[in-house]
Structure 1
Amino acid sequence: MVLGVLAGGLSLVGLAFANSIVGVAIAWVLVQVCYNFAQGPLSAIMPDRVPLSRRGTFAALSGIGLMVGALGGQIIGSLFFNSLAVGYLFFAAFSLVALTLFVVFNPDYSSKEMPAEPFRMGDFLRTFWVSPRRHPDFFWAFTGRLLLYTGYFAVTGFQLFILTDYLGVSEPQTVIPLLGIISLAGILLATVVSGPLSDKLGRRKIFVFISSIVTGAALVFPWVSPTLGSWMIMTLVAGLGFGMFQAVDTALVSEVLPSAKSFAKDLGVVNIAATLPQTLAPGVAGAIVLTFGYAGLFPVGIVLSILGAFAVWPIKAVR
């Protein structure tokens, strides 16, 4: 985790000083690779240390951290609107300090007494293929997350341009912090309630289903009424839906992992469903915008979110 966040920080430094499209592309790929190098083992902490009956609450807390980071970063990032290089350097240093403190103050259990299995490259590579036929619950959990994240980030990833070119906001940097606070309020409210409630009821799927439907429904507002007010309503409602999803879906996924011997790897595979949409959505969404305009993003996001909701119903191992 420390090596990943250190390399990610150095990649951000490279991004800060890149002065060509090729340089930006290379630095951004390295940022994605390195920070996900840290994210993989970080996500394995819950199944390693948290009992099943408390995973909804723990997932809620980790979801709060994730979304506070994403939206807080958005709010802080807007302060560097005219000083992008300084912003990259700030986030590089902040992430390094935060994750290093986590590692220092949350030591893992010793693995000295665990038998070390011989390393074989073929066995290692084969672990990254999880058969949908043998592990259908894992497949459906992965698919549901992939669909919702793609639908959500295809729209929100273009927020700056939607504000300026679709909604006519002349100074978006003055609005983005407010939108971040609105979204954060919805996320915190939904997360704090839904995570512990999911533990109490012993149910996961209904929460994930509702959260995906709510997130998709939120995108209707700016689609039918392209105003800043509608975007604010969407931001709040989508925050409620996405907050509920973050709080419960992580717990659901932790209960359908194929093998207790490979928590970190399996959760790393699941994380692809969260990171891939954020990486590919701008390209796919850009093609949609060029063809149909910004209004074309919303029906795509709605359909993908709804499909993500129904993807959880075939899961049998979790109620």
Structure 2
Amino acid sequence: MVSENCRRAPWMMLGALAGGLALVGLAFADSLVGVIIAWTLVQVSYNFAQGPLSAVMPDRVPLRRRGTFAALSGIGLMVGALGGQIVGSLFFNSLTAGYIVFAMFALVVLALFVVANPDYPSTKIEPEPFRLNEFLRTFWVSPLKHPDFFWAFTGRLLLYTGYFLVIGYQLFLLTDYFGVEHPEQVIPLLGILSLVGILISTVVSGPLSDRIGRRKPFVFASALVVTLALLLPWMWPDLTAWMIMTFVAGFGFGMFQAVDTALMSEVLPSAKSFAKDLGVVNIAATLPQTLAPGLAGAIVLLFGYAGLFPVAIILGILGALAVWPIKPTR
């Protein structure tokens, strides 16, 4: 149960509650300024919950099992992201109801997690004196002192940006690039295709990386698979090509998602502040999903829709190469 002695649970619940209220506000926003403010609050609030939630793995999972755990958490992440697209398409003509449903769903699910997985009490932990300057400095991780963390963070940032640069712009690609008249009828199928690819690769890659004790090969392989997938609709601008790409790219991204969290947990700068460090790591996953659509819009204005694919491919390759210098993991 949530109590005053819990370390993580209260922050998770407060983030979920604030995020739900922000989503409801977004549902009733009737101006661009209102949408921007509400969406900003949504991002801040849910990341408020995501930070302590991401600390569950180093809190409770042994090092040798983290690949499997990362695979399971990766499945949850992508089922949420892609399943949300599928369910969201059902509210295509009733956005207000959709926002309210998702707000309630997130709050209920996170509450169930907190109840079913009791938090560790903090009664035996002696808190250090709070100093604002020291607190703010903890969010800066020096690339010189902690190069492995820097490279892992950069790799995740680039790979996520490349993937969501294209996937996050899917609705406009369907309507304006592929000429689909009713995208709400196609998006559920695309979500299922991507989800199947992700589930297959995630279930296999996470436990396999634990067994062979290697993470990097899976990151490199995922970048290669996603790159090959993105080449298809770039060279063949057709809905069929996009469907094939959705499955193959999902397979590649699932491979990355299965091992990346485990890789990140092995290069954290400090054992004392891993929750904070994982909160910083979470920025590399959430920031691309927030900014990628805006970046995609700028690319489309400059180079057209076809310009999204080579940019995403380059970012994916650079993200994989960024993992190469990491020393503590193979």
Indicate the TM-score class for this superposition, using the shorter chain for normalisation: over 0.9
1:290-311 per-position Cα deviation (integer Å, ceiling 9, x unaligned) = 1111000000000000111111
> What is the CA distance between 1:48 and its match in structure 2?
0.9
- Where does residue 136 of structure 1 map in the other structure? 147
Number of residue equivalences: 319
| Residue 147 (structure 1) aligns with | 158
State the match for 2:188 in structure 1: 177
Indicate whether 1:239 and 2:279 are aligned.
no
- Decide which of 257, 279, 292 is 2:303's aligned counterpart: 292
- One-letter code aligned to 1:278: Q
Q: How does 1:77-156 map to 2 (within 5 A)?
A: 77-156=88-167
- Cα distance, 1:216 vs structure 2: 2.2
Counterpart Cα distance in 2 of 1:116 and 1:145 = 32
What is the alpha-carbon distance in structure 2 between the residues aligned to residue 201 and residue 214 of structure 1? Answer: 21
TM alignment of 1:297-316, pairs within 5 A: 297-316=308-327
Q: What amino acid is aligned across from residue 323 of structure 2 in structure 1? A: V
Q: What TM-score results when the alignment is normalised by the length of structure 2?
A: 0.96
User: Which of 5, 16, 21 is residue 16 of structure 2 equivalent to?
Assistant: 5
Aligned to 1:251: 262
After superposition, the C-alpha distances for 1:17-53 in whole angstroms (9 at most, x for unaligned) are 0000000000000000000000000000001110110
**CA distance in 1 between partners of 2:123 and 2:60 (Å):** 17
C-alpha separation in 1, matches of 2:194 and 2:64: 29
Show the counterpart of 2:6. none
Q: Which residues of 2 match residues 133-282 of structure 1 at below 5 A? A: 133-282=144-293
CA displacement 1:103-153 (0-9 Å, x = unmatched): 111012222011111111111011001000010000000000000111111
Gap regions ≥5 residues in structure 2 = 1-11
Runs (4+) of structure 1 moved beyond 2 Å? none
Q: Which amino acid aligns with 2:305?
A: Y
Deviates more, 1:281-290 or 1:91-100: 281-290
Q: Distance in 1 between matches of 2:329 and 2:323?
A: 10
d(CA) in 2 for partners of 1:144, 1:130: 15
**Stretches of structure 1 lacking an aligned partner (at least 5 in a row):** none
- 2:144 alignment partner, SS class: coil
Counterpart-to-counterpart distance in 2, 1:302 and 1:217: 9
Name the CA distance, whole Å, in 2 between partners of 1:216 and 1:134.
32
User: 1: CA distance between counterparts of 2:23 and 2:240?
Assistant: 34
Aligned-pair identity in percent equals: 78
State how far apart, in whole Å, the 1-side matches of 2:104 and 2:249 are.
30
2:291 and 2:193 mapped to 1: Cα distance? Answer: 26
| CA positional deviation for 1:191 | 0.3
* TM-score, normalisation: structure 1: 0.99
Instruction: State the AA in 2 paired with 1:40.
Output: G
In the alignment, which of 63, 74, 77 is matched to residue 63 of structure 1?
74
Q: Which amino acid aligns with 1:276?
A: L
State the SS of the aligned residue for 2:296: helix
Q: Give, in whole Å, the separation in 1 of the partners of 2:190 and 2:209.
A: 28
Q: Matched residues in 2 for 1:245 and 1:274: separation?
A: 12
Q: CA deviation at 1:210?
A: 1.1
Counterpart amino acid of residue 291 in structure 1:
L
Q: Distance in 2 between matches of 1:109 and 1:288?
A: 46
Provide the residue aligned with 2:85 in structure 1.
74
SS in 1 for 2:325: coil
d(CA) in 1 for partners of 2:58 and 2:187?
35
Rounded to whole Å, the distance in 1 between the matches of 2:34 and 2:99 is 15
Task: Write the deviation string for residues 232-278 of structure 1: whole angstroms up to 9, x where unpaired.
Answer: 11101111111011100000000000001111110111111111111
Q: Which amino acid aligns with 1:60?
A: A
Task: Give the corresponding residue for 1:41.
Answer: 52
Give 1:84's aligned amino acid.
L
User: Once the two structures are superposed, what CA deviation does each residue of 1:215-234 show, in whole Å capped at 9, x if it has no partner?
Assistant: 12211111000001000111
